[in-house]
Structure 1
């Protein structure tokens, strides 16, 4: 049975997990495309046709244009996942470049994440503080927001199955999963450092009164800043960057919809930004490859 672009868009918009605001956003973005090509079977919609369509959206600002392209790409990602297409015709279409004469500026530094060297240094530094070590491990391994993590109670964490459920934006629940190494660090924190008497997973105890309270974001932030303050390579690093690192590490390993679910994003566009390989990351990969090749070639010199 032939699947038209209009039918594909309907299935895309009616799938589970989309909020009403996201549906409205996607619908208004896709409407001009459907008005022109909605009756066409999806299998005959080519890269050239979509490229021409996107080039015609000259009235849009660069940010809005990028959003249109991201949503259209998500639509055809869905078509591939459903088996309607073998490849996504939008995948290799370059995003529109900025026009300085219009006051537009663009950069390929999409998100702030930690590289391998920064991660290694960070883990070495936080190892002296079991509580912060646990927080850093869980943020990095689960992609949870710091606020979601600090809101957890001890009895809501399954350290055997290595998972917990958080309430994210829009009061939506989602599961977060973590690795064995994070479970070991968390077990040590619970056994040796966590103060009892309240339900919170992460606790703080007043040094004078001994009163135990839930660890606050302010306390967490202060502790983190103090730990990394004297380390130049971690200058400007935020706890939230561990969430970006989680997402960046998983791009290409899981589908964009799976990553979206793990991150708790309402808008697929937010997740799609992680697909873009930044120049910094490409440079890091190139340098790693050169180092490996150089070591290999030196054997023959």
Structure 2
């Protein structure tokens, strides 16, 4: 079991190109299944069958695990099962017999456009004094809101991923899928100020070509970006407490409400499936009401 888990980890990272976070989560999920299988007397992968998987999920359910957690763990085990079957470790792809669990997804909070404006105007005022950290924070917030990129994609950006002439970012998303994401003039100005005046003050040799760097001079990490987003939003009256993912959702929602079609939002976010975008975005009641009033003959 341990050898299979180690090989599976390498498969996720090297062959599928999954992020470090995804590899850690999937390996952890499969490991809990293996521990459960061992308690049932199944000490090697070939002993894992559908009864083991159902018993494992049932035990998680009785311990109060959320439906979203169960769905993610089932997905991890299905990925492991398909891989192990292809390599001959399993006689059948037992994970394929496992019914898909649909996680109940509540629509997250988003910023109102005026809240986003307040947030960005406030940090822009601070950056006007030339403080390198304020310049960086301004560029990060403008980039997150302008492009809707994931925090992992943001911290992975290098200087040569920036095409300032066309105002386009070259982004590497999940599975190292590459996409081009446009950004507007405010983000362009913030990025230019950061690169010309802020980054030279903070960057150490360890930063390499990293677009955004931390206070110690190296490539900024995801935790630092989450911390700064939460901190900056706390200064906006009545704004929800959001992290970078909340800014991503806000960007997608505001683009959709501005008239973009769902396919355009899918491209912006880098979703492989349009169904994911349909879950991820929502149409405001105001927009729905306006569309109804314009289109329905008896509105």
Instruction: Report the TM-score range of the alignment, normalised by the length of the smaller protein.
Output: 0.5 to 0.7
Confirm or deny that 1:122 pairs with 2:128.
no
Contact 2:153/2:172 (8 A) holds in 1:
yes
Identify unmatched segments of 5+ residues in structure 2: 1-66, 68-103, 127-133, 291-299
Cα displacement string for residues 14-35 of structure 1 (whole angstroms, at most 9, x for unaligned residues): xxxxxxxxxxxxxxxxxxxxxx
Match of 2:251 in 1: 246
Q: Secondary structure of the residue that 1:175 maps to in structure 2? A: strand
Confirm or deny that 1:228 pairs with 2:262.
no
Match of 2:77 in 1: none
Q: Secondary structure of the residue that 1:220 maps to in structure 2? A: helix
How far apart in 2 are the matches of 1:112 and 1:145? Answer: 17
Contact 1:134/1:189 (8 A) holds in 2:
yes
Confirm or deny that 1:269 pairs with 2:275.
yes
Structure 1 residues 66-77: aligned runs within 5 Å: none
Match of 1:219 among 207, 217, 224: 224
Structure having the higher helix fraction is 2
Match of 2:145 in 1: 140
Match of 2:189 among 184, 187, 200: 184
Confirm or deny that 1:151 pairs with 2:143.
no
Confirm or deny that 1:199 pairs with 2:204.
no
Give how far 1:158 is off: 1.1
Change (3 A) 1:167 1:228: same
Give how far 1:250 is off: 2.3
Confirm or deny that 1:255 pairs with 2:265.
no
How far apart in 2 are the matches of 1:229 and 1:115? Answer: 15
Match of 2:45 in 1: none
Cα displacement string for residues 166-201 of structure 1 (whole angstroms, at most 9, x for unaligned residues): 111122111111011210111001111113432100
How far apart in 1 are the matches of 2:284 and 2:186? Answer: 29
How far apart in 2 are the matches of 1:267 and 1:121? Answer: 33
How far apart in 2 are the matches of 1:256 and 1:225? Answer: 28
Aligned length: 176
How far apart in 2 are the matches of 1:182 and 1:205? Answer: 21
How far apart in 1 are the matches of 2:144 and 2:198? Answer: 18
Q: Normalized against structure 2, the TM-score is what?
A: 0.52
How far apart in 2 are the matches of 1:271 and 1:228? Answer: 25
Give how far 1:278 is off: 3.9
How far apart in 2 are the matches of 1:240 and 1:194? Answer: 24
How far apart in 2 are the matches of 1:276 and 1:232? Answer: 24
Give how far 1:259 is off: 1.9
Cα displacement string for residues 143-180 of structure 1 (whole angstroms, at most 9, x for unaligned residues): 11111011011122111211121111122111111011
How far apart in 2 are the matches of 1:268 and 1:131? Answer: 33
Q: Secondary structure of the residue that 2:179 maps to in structure 1? A: strand
Structure 1 residues 273-288: aligned runs within 5 Å: 273=279, 276-279=282-285
Question: Which gives a bigger RCO, structure 1 or 2 (Cα 8 Å, sep 6+)?
Answer: 1
Give how far 1:265 is off: 0.7
RMSD: 2.9
Q: Normalized against structure 1, the TM-score is what?
A: 0.52
